[in-house]
């Protein structure tokens, strides 16, 4: 430890907070929390105390420490979790989902939408999940759709737009799937009551929700609102049916979270599993991949798993049960008490019903870890999908075409020509490598697919030549011999022809042409390689058409609004959708525009139209007409 670091540690505060160990380059190596920052950081450099190999390696690289003070240890826990997720420090135990699981989102809006998403944003919306069983999530959403008349549109339903009659009801209203808030048929208060009921359902409070609905049904019946009471009766029946499908694991109607970990030290990976029990029934299961675990005790892994969950939780249970006790549970218990509004016991039962439940969770963790390891074997470098090997066989290639690049051209009557290049890696789309190209050498309105193909292939591989790859194992040109010959000419021009095989697809998909061959290579209709080629061709076509349509749509949106500094195509599209025309925007008050674009953009738009130059232009007929 250098003198500067020793002096810094000596003067650290003794309050709770988060510390970050850094190396000589300023890279964050480790993030931790502490009840007493000075004592915790100093403990890393005390000699004579036993340490894990991971911590020993960490201490040897520390040259600086940075701290953030918090009011409570619970706040430090939340901050630590956020920093670990953001910085991904090398020496922390990292928790990762095996894949991005979906959530159910209740959007923060005047009339909230409820929909599935894989992107959790800090926008004030509520997120429930993640759902590791997508089928179960779809079942929940279908139940919500059957029970409640929620809107599915994304219209900005502000009061002024509704009062002005900007919208009209859609098919959902006519088939009684929506109550028509867009035209004022449903009040925000009535809609909000449905959202509250949905929150109860998503939190697993089905019995509580049924009781509330029954009370409301009886009230409406006593007031002779029989039609509305019948709606509540149907909801009660549907919820009762839904509740019966949930597995009952306890006679006590209590909310519990059960955590278990399973570790494979040889593979340096573990799995942490959480079972959510609500009102005595299993609501769902979720899991995290834990890495590294080679010399990390199970107690520390459990601590990271539990802390990470409650640091971002929106619901806190009555009880928490762990298969392995945590080393320092104080911050978690404080966070649970704050979230639940009362003390939440955290136990590690050894016998009885609760221990039996935890054994079930442990069995699931062991099962998930085994599944992850099997999938890892498939993901190893040596694994090649069957369809890729079949394509190598059917086209008689020297090596498996693990990376395939496919080109297609799209235009509308020769205008707005766009080329696409899509990439498949090991038989799957690699969308981060997709590219589109605006064709420069073909005059607009004069279609020339051959020249377009020559241009895009030359641009693509001249660029790869500069960057030294990554090179494809196979290039597919969507088109006949003419397009293939054009591509070959470009490859020869940039001196990469022969570096990888290139083929052309004829109109009949099973016909593949190699350069210089007069006879096509036929692929058996039953071969998986034909399906792979078809997917490549279809994806290239879809991507090219999408890019061409987007380009045309932006061009069609040209209006006087795009001449306003700070107003782009998306804002223009919003304004035209909500207000109807550029003329309506020109005549709208600032407050009405702000409801669509926000106050900053609204001020710019009004300033543009209210300027003397705009008035003069309008008077002389120079202002663009309305759409």
Q: How far is 91 from 61, CA to CA, in rounded Å?
A: 11
Q: Kindly state the average pLDDT of the residues 509-536.
A: 88
DSSP category for residue 510: T
| Same domain, yes or no: 506 and 458 | yes
Final residue in a domain of this structure, among 92, 122, 152: 92
User: For residues 399 and 500, what is the distance between their CA atoms, to the nearest angstrom?
Assistant: 10
- Mean pLDDT, the chain, rounded, equals 84
Residue 439: inside a domain = yes
Does some domain include residue 626?
no
Judge whether residue 616 has pLDDT over 50.
Answer: no
Q: What angle separates helix 188-202 from helix 134-147, to the nearest 10 degrees?
A: 150
Please report, to the nearest 10 degrees, the dihedral formed by the alpha carbons of residues 75, 79, 84, 90 taken in order.
-80
Q: Are residues 358 and 414 in the same domain?
A: no
Residue 612 has pLDDT above 70, yes or no: no
Task: To the nearest 10°, report the CA torsion of 557, 561, 566, 571.
Answer: -50
3-state secondary structure of 264: strand
Distance, in Å, from the CA atom of 425 to the CA atom of 383, rounded to the nearest integer, reads 12
> Quick one: which of 617, 431, 397, 459 has its CA closest to 542?
431
- The count of other CB atoms within 10 Å of the CB of residue 407 is 26
Instruction: Give, as one character, the DSSP assignment of residue 431.
Output: G
What CA–CA distances, in Å, run from 40 to 37, 50, 89, 269, 566?
5, 15, 18, 27, 50
CA distance 322 to 338: 20
Write b or e for each residue in 37-68: b if 16 or more Cβ atoms lie within 10 A of its Cβ, otherwise e: bbebbeebeeeeeeeeebeeebbebbebbebb
CA distance 152 to 102: 18
CB 191 within 8 A of CB 111: yes
Residue 195 covered by a domain: yes
pTM: 0.45
pLDDT over 80 (residue 99): no
Q: How far is CA 232 from CA 216, 217, 239, 436, in A?
A: 7, 6, 10, 53
Which residue is listed with tokens 């988060």? 18
Query: For residues 255 and 207, what is the distance between their CA atoms, to the nearest angstrom?
Result: 12
Is the same domain home to 372 and 454?
no
- Is 547 within 8 Å of 536 (Cβ atoms)? no
- Are 12 and 65 part of one and the same domain? yes
Instruction: Report, as an integer, the average pLDDT of 77-91.
Output: 83
pLDDT score, position 378: 67
What confidence score (pLDDT) does residue 242 get? Answer: 62
Residue that is last in its domain, among 553, 568, 595: 553
CATH of the domain at 407: 3.30.420.340
Shared domain for 394 and 509, answered yes or no, is yes
C-beta separation of 560 from 575 below 8 A:
no
pLDDT of residue 388: 95
Judge if 425 and 490 occupy the same domain. Answer: yes
CATH number at residue 561: 1.10.150
Q: Tell me what pLDDT residue 624 has.
A: 36
Q: 526 falls in which pLDDT band (50, 70, 90)?
A: confident
Task: Mark which of 43, 61, 92 sits at the end of a domain.
Answer: 92
Same domain, 230 and 366: no
- Average pLDDT rounded to a whole number, residues 46-73: 83
Alpha carbon distance 243, 474 (integer Å): 53
Strand pairing category for 521-522 and 435-438: unpaired
Per the DSSP assignment, residues forming a β-bridge with 437 are 419
| Alpha helices (runs of H) in 223-329, residue ranges in sequence order | 226-244, 298-311
Task: Give the pLDDT score at 248.
Answer: 47
Contact between 520 and 510 (Cβ < 8 Å): no
Q: Give a yes or no: residue 250 inside a domain.
A: no
CA distances 526 to 375, 529, 539, Å, are: 27, 9, 21
User: Which pLDDT does position 381 carry in this prediction?
Assistant: 64
CA distance 377 to 269: 14
State the pLDDT confidence band at 450, using cuts at 50, 70 and 90: very high
Report whether 340 contacts 237 (CB < 8 A): no
* 234-261 average pLDDT score: 70
Residue 283 token pair: 């609501």
- pLDDT over 90 at 455, yes or no: yes
pLDDT more than 70, % of the chain: 90
Q: Is the pLDDT of residue 306 over 80?
A: yes
Q: How are beta strands 64-69 and 17-22 bridged, if at all?
A: antiparallel
Residue 308 lies in a domain: no
Same domain, 411 and 538: yes
Statement to judge: residues 484 and 471 lie in one domain: yes
Residue 464 confidence class, pLDDT cut points 50, 70, 90? very high
d(CA 201, CA 209): 7
Residue 267: which domain range?
256-300+318-378
The pLDDT tens digits of the residues spanning 467-521 come to 887 999 999 999 888 999 999 999 999 999 999 999 999 866 668 999 988 888 8
Whether residue 322 is contained in a domain is answered as yes
Lowest mean pLDDT among 265-279, 282-296, 403-417: 282-296
Alpha-helix runs per DSSP H in 383-508: 386-395, 449-467, 481-493
Q: How far is CA 251 from the centre of its chain?
A: 37
**Residues 122 and 262 occupy one common structural domain:** no
pLDDT of amino acid 579: 81
What is residue 142's three-state secondary structure?
Answer: helix
CA dist 53 and 534 (Å) reads 51
Question: Is residue 276 pLDDT above 80, yes or no?
Answer: yes
Model confidence at 620, pLDDT cuts 50, 70, 90, reads very low
Residue 25 has pLDDT above 60, yes or no: yes
Give dist(CA 70, CA 18) in Å, integer: 8
Chain-centre distance for alpha carbon 479:
36
Structure confidence by residue, pLDDT tens digits, 309-332: 888 787 888 899 999 999 888 889
How many structural domains does the chain have?
A: 5
Domain shared by 399 and 450, yes or no: yes
Asked if residue 251 belongs to a domain, the reply is: no
Residue at 309 is within a domain: no
* Rounded percentage of the chain residues whose pLDDT exceeds 90: 32
* 126 in the same domain as 84: no
| Most distant pair of Cα atoms in the chain: their distance | 89
The CATH number for 75's domain is 3.40.1440.10
């Amino acid at each position: 430890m250098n003198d500067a670091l020793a002096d810094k540690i000596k003067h650290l505060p003794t309050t709770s907070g988060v510390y970050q160990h850094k190396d000589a380059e300023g890279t964050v190596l480790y993030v931790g929390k502490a009840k007493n920052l000075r004592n915790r950081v100093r403990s890393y450099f005390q000699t004579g105390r036993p340490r894990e190999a991971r911590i020993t390696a960490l201490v040897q690289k520390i040259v600086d420490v940075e701290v953030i003070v918090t009011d409570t240890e619970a706040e430090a826990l939340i901050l630590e979790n956020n920093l670990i997720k953001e910085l991904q420090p090398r020496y922390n135990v990292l928790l990762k989902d095996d894949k991005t699981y979906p959530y159910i989102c209740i959007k923060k809006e005047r009339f909230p939408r409820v929909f599935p998403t894989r992107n959790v944003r800090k926008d004030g919306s509520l997120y429930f999940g993640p759902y590791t069983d997508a089928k179960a999530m779809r079942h929940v959403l279908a139940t919500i759709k059957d029970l409640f008349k929620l809107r599915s549109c994304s219209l900005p339903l502000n009061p002024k737009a509704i009062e002005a009659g900007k919208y009209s009801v859609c098919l959902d209203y006519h088939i009684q799937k929506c109550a028509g808030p867009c035209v004022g048929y449903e009040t925000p208060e009535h809609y909000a009551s449905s959202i509250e009921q949905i929150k109860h359902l998503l939190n697993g409070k089905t019995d509580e929700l049924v009781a509330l609905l029954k009370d409301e049904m009886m009230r409406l019946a006593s007031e002779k609102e029989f039609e509305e009471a019948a709606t509540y009766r149907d909801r009660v029946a549907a919820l009762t049916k839904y509740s019966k499908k949930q597995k009952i694991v306890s006679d006590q109607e209590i909310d519990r979270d059960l955590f278990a970990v399973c570790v494979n030290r040889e593979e340096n990976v573990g799995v942490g599993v959480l079972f959510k029990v609500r009102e005595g029934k299993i609501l769902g299961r979720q899991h995290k991949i834990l890495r590294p675990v080679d010399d990390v005790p199970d107690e520390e892994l459990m601590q990271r798993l539990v802390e990470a969950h409650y640091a971002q939780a929106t619901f806190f249970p009555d009880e928490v049960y762990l298969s392995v006790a945590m080393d320092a549970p104080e911050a978690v218990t404080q966070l649970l008490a704050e979230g639940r509004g009362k003390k939440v016991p955290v136990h590690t039962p050894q016998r009885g019903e609760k221990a039996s439940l935890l054994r079930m969770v442990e069995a699931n963790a062991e099962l998930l870890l085994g599944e992850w390891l099997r999938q890892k074997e498939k993901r190893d470098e040596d694994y090649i999908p069957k369809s890729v090997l079949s394509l190598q066989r059917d086209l008689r290639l020297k090596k498996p075409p693990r990376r395939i690049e496919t080109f297609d051209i799209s235009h509308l009557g020769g205008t707005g020509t766009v080329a696409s290049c899509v990439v498949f890696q090991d038989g799957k789309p690699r969308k981060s490598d997709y590219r589109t190209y605006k064709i420069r050498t073909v005059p607009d309105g004069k279609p020339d697919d051959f020249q377009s193909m020559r241009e895009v292939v030359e641009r693509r591989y001249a660029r790869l030549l500069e960057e030294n790859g990554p090179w494809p194992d196979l290039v597919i040109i969507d088109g006949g011999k003419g397009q293939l010959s054009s591509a070959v000419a470009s490859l020869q021009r940039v001196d990469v022809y022969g570096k990888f095989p290139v083929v052309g697809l004829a109109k009949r998909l099973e016909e593949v042409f190699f350069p210089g061959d007069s006879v096509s290579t036929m692929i058996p209709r039953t071969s998986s390689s034909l399906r792979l080629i078809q997917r490549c061709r279809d994806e290239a076509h879809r991507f090219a058409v999408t890019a061409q349509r987007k380009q045309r749509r932006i061009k069609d949106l040209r209006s006087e609004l795009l001449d306003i500094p700070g107003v782009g195509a998306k804002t223009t599209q919003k304004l035209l959708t909500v207000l109807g025309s550029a003329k309506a925007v020109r005549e709208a008050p600032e407050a009405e525009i702000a409801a669509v674009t926000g106050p900053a953009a609204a001020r710019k738009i009004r300033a543009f139209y209210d300027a003397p130059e705009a008035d003069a232009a309008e008077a002389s007929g120079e202002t663009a007409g309305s759409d």
